[in-house]
Structure 1
Amino acid sequence: MFNDTVDSMNAADDNLTIELSMAELREVTGYAVACAEPVLAIFERDCPDDPRPRAVLDEARRFAAGGKRTKALRVTALDAHRAARAAGETHHEAAVDAARAAGHAGGAAYLHPLAKATQGGHILMSAAHAARALELDAGDDRSVGDEYIEKATSLASPLVVSVLRRYPPAPSGRGRVGELWRKLDASLRENLGHPKDRVC
């Protein structure tokens, strides 16, 4: 009986909607782009003939600056994830996560107003994959990824944090990238409590 009640509550939570404005989507996308940009150089160093991650960052940057949310943004985001798979086939593991960071930056524009923990990935997975790319590029030095999460925390505007807090905390799983996502998620939620970060 208890499990049935919990399942019903979870189903209800899944149907809850969250208010999101286009300005907020642009702010979230701009944040994701800022998090992904530093690792584009890793991808282009290892896969110099593949323009797909750069293409999605260009499209996402245009949207964040006030442009329309075009089909090209969705297409280039998917292409960046295909570029990640291609990098994996040539065993460029840091480039895989760099391309995924770019792909998720494009996906940030498609954050859905549903109260699901996985939706937070549209906001933070770009940073999590960028952090993973940097630590892999440093020989899997996890302190490098942790340092980047601190940087990503400082990059988030109060508006980005406000949007994040409308969603449930990051879910479990997803290996090291999931761990980095949860670390950033927790850091941003905690920092909103500081006077300098409060949204008026």
Structure 2
Amino acid sequence: MKLDKKDHKALVLWAADCAEHVLPYFEKEYPKDNRPRKAIEEARSWARGDEPMKMSVIRSAALAAHAAARATENPAARAAARAAGQAVATVHVAGHAGAVVYYINKVVEAVLAGQVNIARERAWLRRKLADERFQKHLRSIVLK
């Protein structure tokens, strides 16, 4: 599905919001590592129109977030960093938004041992998925 620019920017903001929702699981473990947060900020900057898309900047931000993920052995922190990398990658290819959902679920699974209310987290994610502008697009991504 092809998105117009307005919906693409809205999808990027949506992906950034979702990734930021789980980012505390990374930042709690690695408070001085700002690579995932910078990836989210880069995504938002493009979506707000602060700068044109520069593939080198988007790619660098995504790769940095994924490098942060590889540097941790904590499954929740790793998945949160990967969600940030996928959020910024949504600037280039809208389909990366589906991977943000995947990694949010990985965070929830990783912290099931009483650290998070899974029903509350899944309800939050369902509300985010309910955005009518993206339902058809996200459904096609998630159900592939």
Scaled to the shorter chain, the TM-score interval is 0.7 to 0.9
Secondary structure of the residue aligned to 1:48 is: coil
Q: Which moved more, 1:34-43 or 1:154-163?
A: 154-163
- Cα separation, partners in 2 of 1:78 and 1:137, compared to 1, 3 Å: same
- Cα separation, partners in 2 of 1:140 and 1:125, compared to 1, 3 Å: farther
Task: Flag the structure with larger Rg.
Answer: 1
Count of residues paired in the alignment: 141
Partner of 1:192 in structure 2?
none
Secondary structure of the residue aligned to 1:77 is: helix
> Deviation of residue 142 (structure 1)?
9.4
> Deviation of residue 66 (structure 1)?
2.5
Partner of 1:31 in structure 2?
14
Secondary structure of the residue aligned to 1:109 is: coil
Q: Distance in 2 between the 1:169 and 1:84 partners? A: 22
Among 50, 57, 67, the alignment partner of 1:72 is 57
Map 1:91-130 to 2 at 5 A. 91-111=73-93, 119=95, 122-130=96-104
Q: Distance in 1 between the 2:101 and 2:127 partners? A: 12
> Deviation of residue 155 (structure 1)?
1.8
Q: Which moved more, 1:71-80 or 1:53-62?
A: 71-80
% of aligned pairs identical? Answer: 29
1:62 aligns with 2:45: yes
CA contact (8 A) 1:27 1:160 kept: no
Q: Distance in 2 between the 1:125 and 1:147 partners? A: 20
Q: Distance in 1 between the 2:57 and 2:102 partners? A: 24
CA contact (8 A) 1:44 1:50 kept: yes
* TM, length-normalised to structure 1: 0.62
- Cα separation, partners in 2 of 1:155 and 1:60, compared to 1, 3 Å: same
| One-letter amino acid of the structure 2 residue matched with residue 80 of structure 1 | A
CA contact (8 A) 2:40 2:87 kept: yes
> Deviation of residue 169 (structure 1)?
5.5
Partner of 2:128 in structure 1?
155
- Once the two structures are superposed, what CA deviation does each residue of 1:109-156 show, in whole Å capped at 9, x if it has no partner? 1226xxxxxx4xx12221221232133134288971x64233122124
Q: Distance in 2 between the 1:83 and 1:140 partners? A: 25
Larger RCO (alpha carbons 8 Å, 6+ apart): 2
| One-letter amino acid of the structure 2 residue matched with residue 152 of structure 1 | L
- Cα separation, partners in 2 of 1:37 and 1:162, compared to 1, 3 Å: same
Q: Distance in 2 between the 1:38 and 1:105 partners? A: 12
- Give the alignment's Cα RMSD to 1 decimal: 2.4
* Structure 2 spans left out of the alignment, 5+ residues: none
* TM, length-normalised to structure 2: 0.82
